[in-house]
Amino acid sequence: MSTHTDELTSMVRSVFADHPAEVADGLPEALWATLTELGLVQLSLPEQAGGSGGTLADSAALLLVAGEAAAPVPLAETELAGWLLHAAGLPVPAGVLAVASGDLTVRSQPGGGVAVSGRLARVGWARHAARVAVLAGDLVLSVDPRAPGVELVEGANLAGEPRDELRLDVTVAAEDLAPAPDGAGELLARRAALARALLLAGAAQRALAGSVRYAGERIQFGRPIAKFQAVQQQLALAAGEVAAARAAAEAAAGIADGGFGTDDAELAIAVAKARTSEAAGAVARIAHQVHGAIGFTLEHDLRLATTRLWAWREEDGSDAHWNAVVGRRTLDAGADGLWPMLTRA
């Protein structure tokens, strides 16, 4: 990790420390304003498009810390939407953005606009978004979620984060649509999976750290439960899962820095999302075993990590989905191509 990335990580940790995570119905405005002021909301977007011109390594460091902090803010969603809009040549508005793709009915209208109808399910943070970047076939649409003809049905994931349904029967003006970049669907899926893997790795670290701390504090039979071999073994297993998850996510970010469209990036991101999703279940299980009943109470902050682990492991492709991608790549490579594929030789 570079000195610059270390400094960014330290700064972001201090920001989140000043705004402790809570389960909230809305967007924490003070935290979002601070992140915006520091140029962290569109960190990797070019400066000419309203971003900070950061690297993928910067973005990866930000998402790792956001996951570790259980920060209830749409950093990943806003960055993904910004990338899609900018890649299509559309303006990137300030504020919260959401991103979605789906099988919509799109009909051309006189004057260059399109009539759009259909349903977009589980759109993250749509209720707070200034715009929703929608990938609809070969078009990118910039949709106002409060426009006439857009019905928003609020929903949430297990962690309480907004996952809203958008029911569309709306006309999108010509200036709010553009042809989608080549391979936009696959590129968006890979970017979303990598972002979620980084968040998962951070949340797993939080769950582990809290479990180690609790095991050192909880006294049973006259000594901390961290002194019991069975607890030590479980914490060691969790630590291994966390290390593997973080290594896979950081490696994928490093490889994707050379381009999300490459075969190497596809494989690395598939491995990262599959591995972090698998680790999520194991780490959450061990964390709750160590904490016992208290870990399930609303008053205990373990839930901030574990509910995200349970929710995020299924979002942006489950471990089964991405393991299938790895399997297809392996079969396509064949016996002679397997070692070069694994070693990038």
Distance CA 237, CA 304 (A): 21
CATH of the domain at 46: 1.10.540.10
CATH of the domain at 173: 2.40.110.10
140 SS3 class: strand
Q: CA 179, 184, 190 angle in degrees (round to 5)?
A: 160
* Same structural domain, 68 and 154: no
Domain boundary among the residues 119, 149, 181 is at: 181
* Same structural domain, 9 and 138: no
Per the structure, the complete domain to which residue 246 belongs is given by 184-343
Distance CA 341, CA 146 (A): 47
141 SS3 class: strand
Distance CA 69, CA 35 (A): 14
Tokens representing residue 300 in the block: 């205990």
Any domain includes 161:
yes
Cβ contact 193:155 at 8 Å: no
Any domain includes 89:
no
Per-residue confidence in pLDDT tens, the chain, 345 aa: 566 788 999 999 999 999 876 655 689 999 999 999 999 999 999 999 999 999 999 999 999 999 999 999 999 999 999 999 999 999 999 999 999 999 999 999 988 899 999 999 999 999 999 999 999 999 999 999 999 999 999 999 999 999 999 999 999 999 999 999 999 999 999 999 999 999 999 999 999 999 999 999 999 999 999 999 999 999 999 999 999 999 999 999 999 999 999 999 999 999 999 999 999 999 999 999 999 989 888 889 999 999 999 999 999 999 999 999 999 999 999 999 999 888 876
Domain boundary among the residues 149, 181, 213 is at: 181
* Same structural domain, 149 and 125: yes
Any domain includes 78:
no
Cβ contact 200:249 at 8 Å: yes
* Same structural domain, 188 and 336: yes
- Supply the DSSP symbol for 156: B
Determine how β-strand 150-153 pairs with β-strand 114-124.
unpaired
* Same structural domain, 101 and 28: no
Cβ contact 232:226 at 8 Å: yes
Q: Which helix (H) or strand (E) holds 153?
A: strand 150-153
Greatest Cα pair distance, the chain, in angstroms, is: 79
Distance CA 164, CA 187 (A): 23
What is the value of pTM for the model shown? Answer: 0.95
Q: At what angle do helices 56-69 and 75-87 cross, to 10 degrees?
A: 150
Domain count of the fold of the chain: 3
167 SS3 class: strand
* Same structural domain, 208 and 321: yes
Tokens representing residue 170 in the block: 């709306």
Torsion angles phi and psi, residue 167, rounded to 5: -105, 115
Closest-CA residue to 197 (of 287, 308, 40): 308
Q: Which helix (H) or strand (E) holds 32?
A: helix 29-37
* Same structural domain, 160 and 177: yes
CATH of the domain at 337: 1.20.140.10
Any domain includes 82:
no
* Same structural domain, 205 and 103: no
* Same structural domain, 320 and 257: yes
* Same structural domain, 57 and 129: no
